Amino acid sequence: MFKIDTHQHAWNLSEVEYGWLKPEYTAFYGNFTPDLLGPQVKAAGVDYTVMVQAANSYEDTASMLLHASYNDWIAGVVGWVNLLDPQEAGKRLDMYSKGPYFKGMRHLIHDEPDPDWVIQPIVIESLKILAGHNLPFDVVAVYPNHIKHVPTLAEKVPNLRMVIDHLGKPPIGKDDTVWFDQMKAAAQSPNVYAKLSGQFDNPAWSVSDIQPYADHVLEQFGADRVLFGSDWPVALMGGTYASVWANTQALIANCTPAEKEAILGGTAIRFYDLKV
pLDDT string in tens for the chain (276-residue length): 899 999 999 999 999 999 999 999 999 999 999 999 999 999 999 999 999 999 999 999 999 999 999 999 999 999 999 999 999 999 999 999 999 999 999 999 999 999 999 999 999 999 999 999 999 999 998 888 999 999 999 999 999 999 999 999 999 989 999 999 999 999 999 999 999 999 998 888 899 999 999 999 999 999 999 999 999 999 999 999 999 999 999 999 999 999 999 999 999 999 999 999
Domain span including residue 170: 4-272
What's residue 83's pLDDT?
A: 98
How many angstroms from the chain centroid is the CA of residue 1? 21
The secondary element (H helix, E strand) that includes residue 102 is strand 102-107
Burial bucket for residue 275 (CB in 10 Å: 0-12, 13-18, 19+): exposed
What single-letter DSSP state applies at residue 167?
G
Burial 11-25 (b: 16+ CB within 10 A, else e): beeeebebeebeeee
CATH of the domain at 64: 3.20.20.140
The CA distance from 188 to 103, in Å, is 24
Beta bridge partners of 195: 227
d(CA 75, CA 5): 10
Per-residue model confidence (pLDDT) at position 190:
98
List 78's β-bridge partners, or say none. Answer: 52, 104
What CA–CA distance (Å, rounded) separates 242 from 253?
Answer: 16
Q: Report the domain count for the chain.
A: 1
CB 124 within 8 A of CB 116: no
How confident is the model at residue 142, as a pLDDT?
87
What are the strands of the beta sheet with 4-8, ordered from one edge? 4-8, 48-52, 74-79, 102-107, 137-139, 162-164, 192-196, 226-228
Q: For position 173, what pLDDT does the model report?
A: 86
pLDDT of 133 reads 98
pLDDT in the model for residue 203: 87
Confirm if 29 and 54 have CB atoms less than 8 A apart.
no
User: Is the pTM above the cut of 0.95?
Assistant: yes
